[in-house]
Amino acid sequence: MTADIDKENEKEDKQPGLKELTKAVQKRLTVLQHRIKEAKIPVIIVFEGWGASGKGAIIGSLISELDPRGFKVYTTGGPSADELRFPLIRRFWIKIPEYGRLSIFDRSWYRDVSMSAVEDGISIAEIDRRFDDILNIERQLSDDGYVLLKFFLRISKKEQRKRFEKLESNPATSWRVTRDDWRHHRMYPQYKRAFETMIQRTDRDYAPWIRINAENRKKVCYNVFTCVESALEDALRREKAAYSPVIRTDDSIKPLPIKRLADYNPAVRFENDEYKPALKKAQKRLFELHNVLYRRRIPLIIVYEGWDAAGKGGNIKRLTDGLDPRGYEVIPVAAPSPPELYRHYLWRFWNSLPKSGHIAIYDRSWYGRVMVERIEKFCSEEQWKRAFDEINHFELSLSEWGAVIIKFWLHIDRDEQLVRFNERMNNEEKRWKITDEDWRNREKWDLYEEAVDDMLIHTHTENAPWVVIESNDKKHARVKVLNTVIKRIEHVLKDRGIKSALL
Amino acid sequence: MTADIDKENEKEDKQPGLKELTKAVQKRLTVLQHRIKEAKIPVIIVFEGWGASGKGAIIGSLISELDPRGFKVYTTGGPSADELRFPLIRRFWIKIPEYGRLSIFDRSWYRDVSMSAVEDGISIAEIDRRFDDILNIERQLSDDGYVLLKFFLRISKKEQRKRFEKLESNPATSWRVTRDDWRHHRMYPQYKRAFETMIQRTDRDYAPWIRINAENRKKVCYNVFTCVESALEDALRREKAAYSPVIRTDDSIKPLPIKRLADYNPAVRFENDEYKPALKKAQKRLFELHNVLYRRRIPLIIVYEGWDAAGKGGNIKRLTDGLDPRGYEVIPVAAPSPPELYRHYLWRFWNSLPKSGHIAIYDRSWYGRVMVERIEKFCSEEQWKRAFDEINHFELSLSEWGAVIIKFWLHIDRDEQLVRFNERMNNEEKRWKITDEDWRNREKWDLYEEAVDDMLIHTHTENAPWVVIESNDKKHARVKVLNTVIKRIEHVLKDRGIKSALL
């Protein structure tokens, strides 16, 4: 009698028609893929779950009908030695899809946290911090129009054992079950707790977790596909309703007070006669400190912003003159090129971070978002207003990774700019440096000044302070930048309790 | 008396005015940088030489006056774990500059060869093979307009010891001298022989070695800079003289004989009733073989070319249906995007290679050079004629790295294409698949047929054979592709003496 009931259940489980239903939703996904491409909606689908829960097979089935030009599958193993020299989240950030495309992750940014929580016994506070970091990034992506879907594939400990044993019994697949897999199997209860915390802490409307029972292989694909389908349909509907992202202020990082641009006197001069020796001395000191940073694997990020013709190029040259060219890079930031233009504006900066121990000098930077993009209306008011908080979080991530950050505004006054523009016009060799755009920007001085003030007020933080450099006198500007960088490094090193024969 | 003579020599060594001369050539290089940018000439400068010969300082001085938007410095250490999963040369290929820009290498593709020659005691034949590989790549780049300059910085063993000791005596730099440096120092004679062989074997007019005496730190920069200057001036002069690259035939790889397209009957049908079982069986076998490849870290490269509407998409789908999506990638090749367009046409394919153990399926490929680029005149006749040999060398590199390569031409006849085009036009869901361009290409059938025949004749090699797939009948085409891939893998595995329980 009991046996009979079981049999009936089995039959029901097979659900005649499920195969056809699955095929049908696959076909509809093909059409949806084209529609999200047209609507330029980017989609990120994350698969987390137990070992042998069938992530590979589900992803294989999901993509089998999709246009390969529209998606990429990323498999996440442990970070490589190279990846470990950057913030951990970078390896995912640089894989976000272009607008209109899909990135599918087999394990994701959640992998490192949940592994660490169980294996490395990191503190609850640290885990919390990492989850906040993840949530912040997911929110930034969602604000930018990215659709995020996170699947967690559940199987019981018993089912996992059964699957491992089956894989092991087949010579073509036995190598797939590793010693680590069995170890994790034995730690099923610990991992279960970690996964539960993860889901609880990071389930948000903008990036929901979807728990999927993965024990029934036939149903699981159908369930996943229909979830993807309805998420894409929702996104398309929202798109039509002219979805406009919200300005968030609730959990912004609080910036420190700072003076307005008008309160600085750009005409401050270098009073000491001994410019060359002062320069040489500072360059030598920076060289020494760079060696300390290099050995400690501490990255240094220097941002240059400033008025046109304020002397950024020459200033950067003096900063780098004494440095080993193998340890620094000057990153000139121009208008974004196509692959950059088609993604979140911070993507290209995640792509250009310095390795640990290296120096990155940004000749213009992510602040373009709240300067030129604001003034030329390349982004909406909501977007640039939201950018202050996004940038603060970005810089906080870098700082928590260990980076020393310093940001300069090279300040000259209107008259000095005019003198320099004319000088360039009259000099054959320098004429290429000046364009019509420079003259147009000059007309917008007041607009820029307002933008600079907003930028200083909203993004001057303890981790990433702004320093306004009076630059009418180039000598003053060059020596001040060098000495500010030196002081900043010394301050951070001392703060971290790093003692060195060189300090 | 002797002491006096020495003093005089020292004075002469200092060459009054050398500093000013160096500054002057630096300034001229700034101007040249702008001129090569305008002329779109790409430049690669390689620095090889003894440890402590001053490569870093020379590069630092070379770039100090250059526009940072126009160059990149790359430092070459040992290959990373990730880099080791690709052909060794790839890590350099992907760093070639855009047209009009500079890549500067501190150590280069010569590093691995010269190290291996001394440290690993590889055979002379193998070293010769690697040098040939390098020469071939340098020639390809030169043919494409790249200017190549290779500096070798000489210092004596005695001078090297002095410099190491000086670095060690300074706490800021002592960590830079490693145990390996001293070991290499003791092996100075062996390295010297290896370097001499390297220079002798790879000094060519299109990529000359320039030996620089680096003992005198003051002179060395001046000497390097003037060499760079005259090389850039030469290149600009050549540019003006409408430099047209030569067709080379001397050392081409000899392709195997193959039939012309007209000799195939695209209407061959799948005769067996049992299509589904045949497909399933082949997919299962491929799954098993992929596991063998994965464990042996053997990459598999499959190229799909064929007539429009020949069924590439559906064919690829059947090929991948049984595979683990984490182990393969379908790479759709469309018209090159800007960063690709601004470099050697093979660059983007070096960038998209599969990791060892992975499968890359190219939906169209580098053969675009000798097909669409030839027919639409996106490249010159010299360029596409030269491409056959370049592609053979490219595929030889991949094969020597260990890749299994197979190339398919999906063949249908003109009538079948028309049927399929009309079918697509009449089907709401498939209409996006057909464009005006497809109709235009159809008009050029004869031109394409000629190009396909040339392609087959010139690039059907033992390492990378072509297989024409009769595709009027999709069933036949799908099963034949699967079985051909299977046979190819089995053949290569047997050839390499790999026995497996699965073979």
**Phi/psi of residue A116, nearest 5 degrees:** -60, -40
**pLDDT for A503:** 54
Is A317 in contact with B429 (Cβ distance < 8 A)?
no
Say if A48 is an interface residue toward chain B (CB within 8 Å): no
Give me the CATH code for the B13-240 domain, please: 3.40.50.300
Helix (H) or strand (E) holding B387: helix B381-401
DSSP A445-481: HHHHHHHHHHHHHHH--SSS-EEEEE-SSHHHHHHHH
C-alpha distance from residue B69 to each of A178, A350, A366, A427 (Å) = 48, 19, 17, 21
Of A69, A80, A334, the CB nearest to B81: A80
pLDDT value at residue A15: 53
Minimum Cα–Cα distance from A326: chain B residue: B75
CA nearest neighbour of B23 among B65, B72, B83? B65
CA–CA dist B217, B250 (Å, integer): 43
Interface subset of A 428-467, CB within 8 angstroms of B: 429, 432
pLDDT at B32: 95
Q: Closest Cα partner for A343 from A44, A34, A132, A29?
A: A44
The architecture that CATH gives domain B261-495 is 3-Layer(aba) Sandwich (3.40)
- Share of residues in chain A with pLDDT > 90 (%): 77
Helix (H, G, I), strand (E, B) or coil at B56: helix
C-beta atoms of B56 and A326 within 8 A: yes
The answer to whether B363 contacts A332, with C-beta atoms less than 8 Å apart, is no
Task: Specify whether domain A16-240 bears CATH 1.10.3720.10.
Answer: no
- DSSP assignment of A348-389: HHHTTPPPTT-EEEEES-GGGGGTHHHHTTSS-HHHHHHHHH
Kindly state the average pLDDT of the residues B179-204. 95
Judged by CB atoms closer than 8 Å, whether chains meet at A332 and B69 is answered as: yes
B501 touches chain A (CB under 8 A): yes
Tens-digit pLDDT profile for residues A52-63: 999 999 999 999
Q: Inter-chain contact B291–A172, Cβ cutoff 8 Å?
A: yes
For residue A9, the model assigns a pLDDT of: 43
Q: Does the beta-carbon distance from B65 to A291 stay under 8 Å?
A: no
Residue A82's pLDDT is: 87
CB atoms within 10 A of CB B74: 15
Quick check: B288 contacting A, CB < 8 Å?
yes
Buried b (16+ CB within 10 A) or exposed e, B465-493: bbbbbbbbbbbbbbbbbbebbbebbbebb
A69 touching B, CB under 8 A? yes
Q: Tell me how long chain A is.
A: 503
H or E element: which one contains A110? helix A109-119
CB contact under 8 A, A337 and B334: no
How far off is chain B from A59, nearest CA to CA, in Å? 7
DSSP secondary-structure letter at A155?
A: -
In the stretch 101-120 of chain A, residues with CB closer than 8 A to chain B read 106
Which of B394, B407, B391, B396 has its CA nearest to residue B488?
B407
Instruction: List the single residue in A64, A80, A326 with the smallest CB-CB distance to B75.
Output: A326
Listed in order, strand segments (DSSP E) in A397-442 are 404-411
| pLDDT higher than threshold 50 for residue B49 | yes
Q: Do A291 and B332 touch (CB under 8 A)?
A: no
pLDDT at B10: 44
Residues B226-249: pLDDT tens digits? 999 999 999 999 866 544 545 454
CB contact under 8 A, A316 and B291: no
| pLDDT tens per residue across span A103-121 | 999 999 999 898 888 988 8
In this chain, the answer to whether the domains covering B13-240 and B261-495 adopt an identical fold is yes
Cβ B80–A75 below 8 Å, yes or no? Answer: no
- Facing B338 at nearest CB: one of A295, A325, A338: A338
Please provide residue A438's backbone torsions phi and psi, each rounded to the nearest 5 degrees.
-60, -40
Structure confidence by residue, pLDDT tens digits, B105-157: 999 999 989 888 898 888 989 999 999 989 999 999 999 999 999 999 999 99
Dihedral, CA atoms, A132, A137, A142, A147, nearest 10 degrees? -100
3-state secondary structure of A73: strand
Distance CA A220, CA A228 (A): 12
Asked if B56 reaches chain A (Cβ–Cβ under 8 Å), the answer is: yes
DSSP three-state, residue A503:
coil
Q: Which regions of chain A are under pLDDT 50?
A: 1-12, 242-243, 245, 247, 249
Give the nearest chain A residue to B61 (CA atoms). A321
Which residues of A fall within a CB distance of 8 Å from B501? Answer: 171
Amino acid sitting at position A431? R
Write down the residue that tokens 């005019």 correspond to: A418
Kindly report the CA angle at A347 between A61 and A58, in degrees rounded to 5? 10
**Residue A2's pLDDT is what?**
39
Mean confidence (pLDDT) of chain B: 90
Find the CB nearest A82 among B63, B80, B329: B80
Burial class (CB in 10 A: 0-12, 13-18, 19+), A225: buried
Of B81, B82, B501, the CB nearest to A171: B501
Residue B69: pLDDT band by 50, 70, 90 thresholds? confident
Q: Taking CB atoms and an 8 Å limit, are B172 and A317 in contact across chains? A: no
A75 touches chain B (CB under 8 A): yes
Pick A326's closest partner by Cβ from B69, B73, B334.
B73
- In this predicted structure, what is the pLDDT of residue A254? 87
Out of A225-229, B175-179, B199-203, B465-469, pick the least confident: B175-179
CB contact under 8 A, A291 and B64: no
CA distance B317 to chain A (A): 6
Chain A environment of B326 (Cβ under 8 Å): 56, 59, 73, 75, 106
| Nearest-neighbour CA in chain A from B460: distance (Å) | 27
- Judging contacts by C-beta atoms under 8 Å, the chain A residues touching residue B32 are none
- Say whether A172 and B329 touch across the interface (CB within 8 A): no
Picking from A302, A248, A466, A459, the residue whose alpha carbon sits closest to that of residue A370 is A459
Contact A385, A244 (CB under 8 A): no
B352 touches chain A (CB under 8 A): no
CB-based contact A80 B75, cutoff 8 Å: no
Chain B hits for A75, CB-CB cut-off 8 Å, are: 326
Rounded to a whole number of angstroms, the distance from the CA of A225 to the nearest CA of chain B is 16
Residue B60: list chain A partners with CB under 8 A: 320-321, 323-325
pLDDT at position A248 is 52
Contact call for B171 and A429, based on CB within 8 A: no
Contact A125, A15 (CB under 8 A): no
CB contact under 8 A, A60 and B334: no
> Confidence class of residue B1 from pLDDT cuts 50, 70 and 90?
very low
Q: Is B81 on the interface with A (CB under 8 A)?
A: yes
Interface subset of B 82-101, CB within 8 angstroms of A: 82
Q: What residue segments make up the domains of chain A, in order of their start?
A: 16-240, 265-495
Name the residue among A73, A325, A338 with its Cβ closest to that of B326: A73
Cross-chain residue pair B317–A80, CB shorter than 8 Å: no
Amino acid at A481: V
- Calculate Rg over the CA atoms of chain B: 27
pLDDT of residue B171: 84
Which among B31, B68, B339 is the nearest to A330, CB-wise?
B68
Helix, strand counts (H, E) of chain B: 20, 10
User: Residue B296: closest CA among chain A residues belongs to which residue?
Assistant: A175
Q: Which CATH number fits domain A265-495: 3.40.190.10, 3.10.20.30, 3.40.1360.10, 3.40.50.300?
A: 3.40.50.300
A-chain residues near B173 (CB < 8 A): 291
Strands B43-49, B147-154: pairing kind: parallel
B69 reaches A (C-beta below 8 A): yes
Binned at pLDDT 50, 70 and 90, residue B500 comes out as: low
Q: Are B260 and B465 in contact (CB under 8 A)?
A: no
Q: Nearest CA to CA, how far is B319 from chain A (Å)?
A: 10
Residue A33's nearest CA partner among A67, A72, A80, A75 is A67
User: So what's the ipTM on this one?
Assistant: 0.77
Choose from A173, A330, A348 for mutation: most chain B CBs within 10 A: A330
Task: Tell me the H-state helices in B70-175.
Answer: 90-93, 109-119, 124-143, 157-169
Amino acid at B44: I
